[in-house]
Structures are given as structure tokens and as C-alpha cells.
């Protein structure tokens, strides 16, 4: 019984090496192989820990009992239409990752709330120009997706005094957070949200959800922070909304193509800030125990924790 670590991304060996180190320390020990150099006899592989797995890899593992995502998102797995039938797919829900993601989102909201870009420009121009800013209680933040990360982000922003709302597929009740849900709640949510933080799973229903129609609903001069998936944003619509002044800013950690191509207009747009999909990177030191427990569950024929519903995509 062997667990395979695999990704189509380049230069993953140092990261995967740390995963191997932590997994072999788990109770009972786990035999770990790294793709592609250690693939060996595929019949030995009973579990795969993956991020954006190479096309066809999972379908070629005849004794697979578990597909474990290296992160909370699973769209990178379900984009393959040849997944082995009946093999459960599990998300990785690690408190450390939740904290790192909410930290990124709170920092981004505070950056624009305190108009940090203005002071970067002033410093470059050697210009002393103190400007007042509104109280956090007057700023309306909307969280798209109020699962573990969204709920943590909302709670931290509430502690700082922001007026926070959440939007989700089904009703969610978070203390002190205004709730919107479903298609009927979307317009009201966007209309009241000066800052929109996207933390949605990427599914057929959420693909391209941040488009011209959504931006038109937002307050003039507002902006988006996307730490979910690049597929949520219609790139051309975002650029048009920023160029027209309808939106004042965008902070983007994720993109439709990664790494972001050097000729993409996002790189040079004055109202866009880019980070390289590192809002939250799963830490093997804190997350290995969950992976090991799911591995043991799968080997016993039990369902893993945080199992994904393929019909919903999360």
C-alpha cells in the first residue's frame, strides 16, 4: 500500500520532500512515492495526494482507493473527465491553511481601506499629504463563500469593526454577518458590498460569476479581492470596469492561466495588485495528520473526512 504525491506543476520536489518527511512520521508509517521519478509499479498505489494532477495519471492507477487534494479546492481534480469511478475525493481542511487565507484577505481589505496605494505614490513623489479615511464601521465588505475560510475572514473583519455580509449557495447564519444566498440574494449582496472578497469553490455555477453584470451592481469605486480561483473572474470585464472607473481596485492571487503569462494585461494595470497564488499554501507540518488519517480510513474501506460531492464539485 503506497501513497503517490503528484502534480503537473514544475519544481515540486522540495515541497513534496517535506510532505514525505511528515507522512512517514505518522503512526503506522506510510510508504510515499514522488511522481514521476518514483512511480514504479502502479498496482502498488492505493492513494494519491495531488495538486493539479497530470492528465490521465489517476485513471491509470488500478487499485486507487483515495484521491486527496493538497488544498481545500478540488476543481483541479474534477477538470479531468476520466477519474476512476467510485474512488472518493477529499478536500484538505487544515486550520493553519484557513488562518493563512483569512490573513491574506484581511490584509487586502485593510490595504484598500487605508488607501495604502496613495501613500506609495506620495512617497515616490516625496509628497507629504495626510488624507483622512472613513471608519471601518462605514465600510461594507462582502464575502463570497462563507465556508471555513470565509467564516474566519468574516469574523476577523467584524472584530475590526467592518460591516460584513456573506453570500453563499444556501443560507448560512454567522454572528453579526448579514446573510444573502442563492440567485435571489446575489444582486442585493453585490449592491451593498464596497469590497467583494471571493472565496467560492469553482463550479459550473460559479465560473465567471464576477463579470460585467456583477461589477455594474457594485458601488462606484469599489473593488474585488480574489483568493479563490481565476475562473471566477471574466478578465476582460474586470479590465473594462477598472478602466471606466466603475471599480477602483482589484487584488488578485489566482488566475485562469498560472503562472500568469508575461503578456497578460493584468501585470501592468495600475489598479491591479498581483500575488502568485500564495495567499495560503498548505503546510505539511500541520496537515500531514489529516492526510494520514484519511489514508488509514481508505485502507479500512471507510469514507474519508471532508469527502467531496462530485455533483456539487465541493
User: What domains, with CATH codes, occur in the chain?
Assistant: 2-94+282-299 (3.40.50.720), 95-274 (3.40.50.720)
pLDDT of residue 313: 87
220-270 tens-digit pLDDT = 999 999 999 999 999 999 999 999 999 999 999 999 999 999 999 999 999
Instruction: Reduce the DSSP state of residue 195 to 3 states and report it.
Output: strand
Q: Which amino acids are annotated catalytic?
A: 229, 277
- Selection from 180, 191, 243, 197 nearest residue 215 by Cα: 191
The residue count for the chain: 314
pLDDT category at 1 given cuts 50, 70, 90 is confident
As a whole number of angstroms, the longest Cα–Cα distance in the chain is 68
Nearest to 246 by CA among 210, 284, 286, 203: 210
Contacts of 290-293 spanning 24+ positions with Cβ under 8 A: 290/92, 290/93, 290/94, 291/23, 291/49, 291/68, 291/92, 292/23, 292/26, 292/27, 292/28, 292/30
| pLDDT band per the 50, 70, 90 thresholds, residue 10 | confident
Q: Which pLDDT score is estimated for 11?
A: 82
Amino acid at each position: 500500500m503506497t501513497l503517490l504525491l503528484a502534480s503537473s506543476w514544475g519544481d515540486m520536489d522540495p515541497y513534496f520532500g517535506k510532505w514525505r518527511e511528515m507522512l512517514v512520521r505518522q503512526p503506522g508509517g506510510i510508504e510515499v512515492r514522488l511522481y514521476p521519478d518514483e512511480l514504479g509499479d502502479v498496482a502498488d498505489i492505493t492513494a494519491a495526494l495531488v495538486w493539479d494532477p497530470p492528465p490521465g495519471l489517476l485513471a491509470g492507477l488500478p487499485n486507487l482507493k483515495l484521491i486527496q487534494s493538497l488544498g481545500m479546492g478540488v476543481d483541479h481534480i474534477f477538470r479531468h473527465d476520466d477519474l476512476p469511478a467510485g474512488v472518493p475525493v477529499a478536500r484538505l481542511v487544515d486550520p493553519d491553511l484557513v488562518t493563512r487565507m483569512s490573513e491574506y484577505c484581511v490584509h487586502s481589505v485593510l490595504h484598500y481601506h487605508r488607501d495604502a496605494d496613495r501613500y506609495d505614490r506620495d512617497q515616490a513623489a516625496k509628497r507629504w499629504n495626510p488624507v483622512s479615511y472613513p471608519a471601518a464601521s462605514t465600510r461594507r465588505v462582502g464575502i463570497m463563500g462563507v465556508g471555513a475560510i470565509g467564516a474566519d475572514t468574516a469574523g476577523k473583519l467584524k472584530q475590526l469593526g467592518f460591516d460584513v455580509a456573506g453570500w453563499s449557495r444556501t443560507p448560512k447564519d454567522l454572528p453579526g454577518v448579514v446573510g444573502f444566498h442563492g440567485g435571489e440574494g446575489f444582486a442585493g449582496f453585490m449592491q451593498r458590498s464596497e469590497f467583494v472578497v471571493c472565496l467560492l469553490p469553482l463550479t459550473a455555477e460559479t465560473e465567471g460569476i464576477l463579470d460585467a453584470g456583477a461589477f455594474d451592481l457594485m458601488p462606484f469605486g469599489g473593488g474585488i479581492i480574489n483568493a479563490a480561483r481565476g475562473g471566477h473572474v471574466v478578465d476582460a470585464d474586470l479590465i473594462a470596469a477598472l478602466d471606466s472607473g466603475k471599480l477602483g481596485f482589484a487584488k488578485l492571487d489566482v488566475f485562469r492561466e498560472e503562472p500568469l503569462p508575461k503578456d497578460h494585461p493584468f501585470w501592468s494595470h495600475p489598479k491591479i495588485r498581483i500575488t502568485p497564488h500564495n495567499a495560503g499554501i498548505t503546510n505539511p507540518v500541520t496537515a500531514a495528520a489529516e492526510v494520514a488519517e484519511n489514508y488509514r480510513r481508505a485502507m479500512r474501506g471507510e469514507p474519508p473526512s471532508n469527502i467531496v460531492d462530485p455533483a456539487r464539485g465541493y
